[in-house]
Amino acid sequence: MQQEEINAQDNDSTAEHFVLVGFSDLPNFQEFLSGVFTVIYVVILIGNGLIILITRIDPALQKPMYFFLANFSSLEICYVSVTLPRILFNLWTQRRTISRLACATQLCFFLILGATECFLLAVMSYDRYVAICNPLHYALLMNPKRCAQLAAGSWLGGIPVQIGQTCQIFSLHFCNSNQIEHFFCDIPPILKLACGDTSAHEVSVYVVAMLFVAVPFMLILASYSKIISTILRLPTAKGRAKAFSTCSSHLLVVVLFFGSATITYLRPKSSHSPGTDKLLSLFYTIVIPMLNPMIYSLRNKDVIAALRRLFLAKNAMT
């Protein structure tokens, strides 16, 4: 590792590869971290995979809400697979170098999938808004074609802008160092390595963050203000509890994801530190995707019932 860092420093102005410092400051915990992240990755794959499975095979879950939930679970698997396998590779091999192209590719997919998550959470809130505030027109407004269009727009909407932003960032010259004080290629630690004035690039990052984070979040807030207002006007406590239970899981996921993403990308540059950035990134790139299946299953009676039917059917077959 020491020789690797020296070579990285020698490359300074060319920066054909970077060094992901990651968790190298915890040399006595490498095996422990490797085990923890392996378990987390398996939990994410199994948890989100189960949700995808039951939403496809269980007749009770053939609804727009669960169509979007299956998309969300697929997204979480893709999102975490952009970063976690690389973390595990670095921990297992202690080889922390990453080529410029691989770093740019990782960042690009990370940004695209992050934008997809913002859009998809906004679409899911719109689905709950229509279901609760306009139930008589729900089947018409959220027909299969419309659901497919909204899902496709969420997956594809951020691609052009995020490819452009990635190309813009990696067109910079890196002469300060090429040791990235992070466990994956992310914008704030990469910009710290760039030569000269990066203020224009930082403004670009803020504008894109406002577009892909703040705008969907405002749409979600608008949807939920209408939803809560409608729920409070329902005549019975049972009706209010049932209506709120269908959107409470989604609201919790929204708060967790947008809260951590906003702190990471919209706080002033002066307040960025490697330790804080790593902690926040761990939270929204790994911890939240692990928690999401539990949040949706434990707080949703339909999902619990579908999981029970799946395991009962499996036991009956054996």
Short-list 251, 234, 253, CA closest to 133:
234
Give dist(CA 85, CA 108) in Å, integer.
16
Q: Which residues of the chain have pLDDT under 70?
A: 1-15, 176, 239, 242-243, 246, 265-275, 298-299, 314-315, 317-318
pLDDT score for 269: 60
Task: Say which residue the tokens 């909204």 belong to.
Answer: 150
Number of H helices, E strands in the chain: 14, 3
Give dist(CA 46, CA 44) in Å, integer.
6
pTM of this structure: 0.88
| Beta strand spans in the chain (E) | 17-20, 97-99, 179-180
pLDDT score for 231: 85
Give dist(CA 185, CA 108) in Å, integer.
9
Q: What is the dihedral of CA 261, 79, 272, 178, to 10 degrees?
A: -160
pLDDT score for 10: 47
Give dist(CA 243, CA 227) in Å, integer.
9
SS3 270: helix
- For the chain, the straight-line distance linking the first and the last C-alpha, in angstroms and rounded, comes to 50
Report residue 163: phi and psi, to 5°: -65, -45
What would the two tokens of residue 5 be?
């860092």
What would the two tokens of residue 77 be?
């698997």
Q: Domain coordinates of the chain in residue numbers?
A: 2-317
Does the 2-317 domain belong in CATH 1.20.1070.10? yes
Give dist(CA 144, CA 141) in Å, integer.
9
pLDDT score for 177: 79
Give dist(CA 279, CA 96) in Å, integer.
19
